[in-house]
Amino acid sequence: MKFAYYPGCSARSTCAELNEATHLVAKRLGLDLVQLESATCTGARELRAIDPAGFYALNVRILALAESHGLPLMTICNTCTLNVLDAHAAFVSDPELAKSVNARLAGENLHYSGRTRISHFLWVLHEEIGEQRLSQQVVNPLAGLSVAAFYGCHITRPPAHYGFVDSRNNRALERLAEILGCQPIEYSGRTECCGFHTAAHDERIAIKLTGKQVLAAKTGGATTMVTPCPLCHTVLDSFQAEMEKDIKQKLQMPVLHLPQLVGLALGLSPEQLKIDRHMVPAGVLDRYAAAASNAPK
Amino acid sequence: MLPPGDAPAPVLASIDARRLGQLEQHDTLAARNSRLRPGDLLTLKVRRSEVAAGSDIYQEFEVPYQKWMRLLDALNWIAENAAPDLAFRWFCGSKMCGTCAVRMNGREVLACWEAVEPNMVIEPLRNLPVIRDLIVDRTRYEERVASLEPWIERPKPYAEFPEPLTHKQMKNASQALDCISCMCCYSACPVIGLGNLTDFAGPAPLVQLGQTALDPRNDPGKVRRSIELTGIFNCVSCYKCEEVCPAHIPIVSGVIEPLKAKAAQLAPEMARHSFALRDIVARRGRLDPGELVLRVQGLQGLRNLRRIWRLLARGKINPFKTLLGIKTSAAGAAGRLLNGAGKS
């Protein structure tokens, strides 16, 4: 199984450990990833508002790069995923837009025909690897590890892309956690917003929005949180000290990137998965790591 | 309830991971309507404001299900048979007047347009003061909308008559005109939930403003003055407003983002964060978060030295890359596409 792989900006900078973990886990799962080195930022939330033409050009270019390899596109960031999904939807429904974007890409000999399949790593695990094969690969079931899934927004809303009447009904992360042997918990924060997109100009929004959710995860009995989005991770992990100050309570809640949780169950060590690169220490997870002698080579 | 065998088992050709959970959680209208049969007892826990002295309580009611029963029918059944003093608003009963919005199991719905569920917790909308039971005071919203002066000003004489105006030009404004002011989005918005932390007007007032501010005939100066009062860049883009909108208005992509585009055009200082991001991507291909924070917050971005030290220690920021403006392998393409014809 081969994918054109788009890590996005976070996984190449503040969350570099996510990119490394994704490559390690993909290798173990037999996923062949062709990383799109010349792919640009998708423009986060900002570009799509102030420069729609630029937004479509950057995102359709990413889809065209995947098409030039003849491969489906795999993403690991919620916001990037929604951006390419939105650009793709606009491209296929507006022939005028399609023509103008392709004209701008022609200088690079790139062309998008509207056929690239877009899949977040979470969906690849469910759809391409599948429950059965994935559970066969779990050499280190994470029995007893209680996990609070934090979906974030752009992997379960807007309804136009995901079709939920109520986005809280998404169970993709919980079902995955169960395959890995974990115990997913129910809590109020599952599909709440982390506030990342306003954090560059006002962190207080993110801190206020997430503090109560991390606390809910903790009081719900979670040992760790897991998220499919590096932007959520940045807020939940890097701002946790500020959340503690704001709610005047200790949280000390480790937050894992999705591939890191999968990697632990596949027998990779916390060191290999760079779990020590997080701001909140995750030593509590060491006892769930595969014993060195059992770990597959 | 239907025994499991009665309903045809839904079949999925292959797993659609984007919708995992939808079937088991009855997250479709068909699934919800097939769970109940006439005579089944529904349980409603309704939040009352004046039953116990000074404290909110949830009062439980059992209501017999009738075919195609809506939440409004269940509330009316309670008012007629169990609690004549239960306060709730409704008028048209057909998704037009926008007065019957409440929260059902933590989700904003129109009582007149929502199928009942076997177990329901019914609460008033959030983010507005409760007058009694399920009735909220809409004054805060109405005052905010009025302060935005959501009307059209035409200081110059009309160019010609009839005026040249296309569907495409009017698309966003006319989507906003579908709003029935039900306040579902206002209740669902997490930033409004933070109270006075920001000056964000919230989704409902922005939709009201969008009806005229996104009309190309409106005076740009008038539009600028209105948008400057909205705190629109405090929208976190969570799409909760879009999810609950009974009129299916694409509030984020069809109203808030086009209003942000107007702000970027007419009051660029409001969009400093967006312009900084665009400029960094155009120059370097990918986003350097350190540079974005420094450019948006200035020296303020350096005030939390403890966090900066921790970020440095974990290798999460790289000041050399940031300060030297190191380009990435995507810089060439980004520069071509963002500095070319698409500049707006």
Average pLDDT rounded to a whole number, residues B169-187: 97
* B70 in Cβ contact with B112 (< 8 Å): yes
Q: What is the pLDDT of residue B339?
A: 85
Q: What is the pLDDT of residue B211?
A: 98
A221 CA: distance to closest CA in chain B (Å):
22
What value does the CA radius of gyration of chain B take, rounded to a whole number of Å? 25
pLDDT digits (tens, 9 = 90+) for B85-142: 999 999 999 999 999 999 999 999 999 999 999 999 999 999 999 999 999 999 999 9
pLDDT digits (tens, 9 = 90+) for A215-233: 999 999 999 999 999 999 9
Average pLDDT, chain A: 96
pLDDT digits (tens, 9 = 90+) for A94-112: 999 999 999 999 999 999 9
User: Where residue B32 falls among pLDDT bands split at 50, 70, 90?
Assistant: confident
Residue A37: pLDDT over 80: yes
Q: In degrees to the nearest 10, what's the CA dihedral of B98, B104, B106, B110?
A: -20
Cβ neighbours of B53 (radius 10 Å): 5
- Cβ-in-10-Å burial (0-12, 13-18, 19+) of A28 comes to middle
Instruction: Name the pairing type of β-strands A146-149 and A224-227.
Output: parallel
> B67-76, B194-203, B333-342: which range is least confident on average?
B333-342
Specify whether B210 is located in the same domain as B95: no
Q: What is the pLDDT of residue B53?
A: 57
The number of distinct structural domains making up chain B is: 3
Q: What is the pLDDT of residue B340?
A: 61
Say if B14 falls within a structural domain. Answer: no
**Cβ <8 Å between A54 and B197:** no
Specify whether B262 is located in the same domain as B146: yes
Q: How many angstroms separate the CA atoms of B75 and B79, rounded?
A: 6
User: Where residue B11 falls among pLDDT bands split at 50, 70, 90?
Assistant: very low
Specify whether B143 is located in the same domain as B244: yes
Residues in chain B with CB shorter than 8 Å from the CB of A279 are 310-311, 314, 316
Residue B236 per-residue DSSP state: -
Q: Which residues contact B213 (CB under 8 A, 6 or more apart)?
A: B150, B223, B226, B227, B259, B262
Residues in chain B with CB shorter than 8 Å from the CB of A78 are none
Q: What is the pLDDT of residue B227?
A: 98
Residue B315: pLDDT over 90: no
Q: Token pair 């306003």 is at which residue?
A: A198
The parent domain of residue B194 ranges over: 139-155+176-266
Say if B145 falls within a structural domain. Answer: yes
A287 CA: distance to closest CA in chain B (Å):
22
Which architecture, in CATH terms, is A2-121? Up-down Bundle (1.20)
Q: Which residues contact B82 (CB under 8 A, 6 or more apart)?
A: B61
Q: In degrees to the nearest 10, what's the CA dihedral of A218, A220, A224, A229?
A: -100
| Residue B224 belongs to domain with CATH number | 1.10.1060.10
Say if B164 falls within a structural domain. Answer: no
pLDDT digits (tens, 9 = 90+) for A113-122: 999 999 999 9
**Cβ <8 Å between A165 and B29:** yes
Instruction: Name the pairing type of β-strands B41-52 and B55-64.
Output: antiparallel
Specify whether B62 is located in the same domain as B123: yes
Residue B3: pLDDT over 70: no
Residue B201: pLDDT over 60: yes
Q: Token pair 């809910």 is at which residue?
A: A216
**Cβ <8 Å between A153 and B22:** no
Q: Identify the CA nearest to A193 among candidates B193, B315, B341.
A: B193
CA B98 to each of CA A273, B110, B185, B244, B255: distance values in angstroms, whole numbers, following the listed order: 51, 7, 12, 13, 19
Q: How many angstroms separate the CA atoms of A30 and A1, rounded?
A: 7
pLDDT digits (tens, 9 = 90+) for B135-149: 999 999 999 999 999
Specify whether B182 is located in the same domain as B258: yes
Total residues belonging to chain A: 297
Q: Token pair 């998220």 is at which residue?
A: A227
Which of B337, B338, B343, B344 would you mutate first to test chain A, the one with the most A CBs within 10 A?
B337
Fold match between domain A2-121 and domain A134-288: no
Specify whether B120 is located in the same domain as B33: yes
**What is the token pair recorded at B59?**
């009062």
Q: What is the pTM of this model?
A: 0.94
Say if B50 falls within a structural domain. Answer: yes
Q: How many angstroms separate the CA atoms of B19 and A167, rounded?
A: 9
Could you state, in order of their start, the residue ranges of all structural domains in chain A? Answer: 2-121, 134-288
Say if B150 falls within a structural domain. Answer: yes
Q: How many angstroms separate the CA atoms of A52 and A279, rounded?
A: 35
End-to-end CA distance of chain A: 22
User: Where residue A292 falls among pLDDT bands split at 50, 70, 90?
Assistant: low
Residue A294: pLDDT over 70: no
**Of the candidates B105, B135, B165, which is a domain's last residue?**
B135
Q: Identify the CA nearest to B314 among candidates A261, A231, A238, A21.
A: A238
| Cα of A223 vs its chain's centroid, Å | 20
* A213 in Cβ contact with A150 (< 8 Å): yes
What would the CATH number be for the domain defined by A134-288?
3.40.50.11810
Average pLDDT, chain B: 91
User: Where residue B52 falls among pLDDT bands split at 50, 70, 90?
Assistant: low
CA A207 to each of CA A10, A189, A242: distance values in angstroms, whole numbers, following the listed order: 19, 14, 7
* B108 in Cβ contact with B63 (< 8 Å): no
H or E element that contains B21: none
Give the phi and the psi of residue A89 in degrees, each rounded to 5: -65, -40
Residues 126-185 of B with CB under 8 A from A: none
Amino acid identity at B16: D
Helix (H, G, I), strand (E, B) or coil at B226: helix
Amino acid identity at B177: L
Cβ neighbours of A114 (radius 10 Å): 13
Specify whether B149 is located in the same domain as B35: no
pLDDT digits (tens, 9 = 90+) for B273-289: 999 999 999 999 999 98
DSSP for B74-141, please give it. Answer: HHHHHHHHT-TT-----SSSSSSS---EEEETTEEEEGGG-B--SEEEEEPPSSS-EEETTEE--HHH
**Cβ <8 Å between A40 and B340:** no
Specify whether B126 is located in the same domain as B146: no
**What is the token pair recorded at B164?**
């040249």
Chain A to chain B, count of Cβ pairs less than 8 Å apart?
A: 235
**What is the token pair recorded at B189?**
């918005």
Q: How many angstroms separate the CA atoms of B108 and A107, rounded?
A: 49
Q: What is the pLDDT of residue B175?
A: 97
Strand order across the A2-6 sheet = A32-35, A2-6, A73-75, A118-120
Cβ neighbours of B70 (radius 10 Å): 19
Percentage of chain A with pLDDT > 90? 97
Q: How many angstroms separate the CA atoms of A253 and A247, rounded?
A: 14
User: Where residue A293 falls among pLDDT bands split at 50, 70, 90?
Assistant: very low
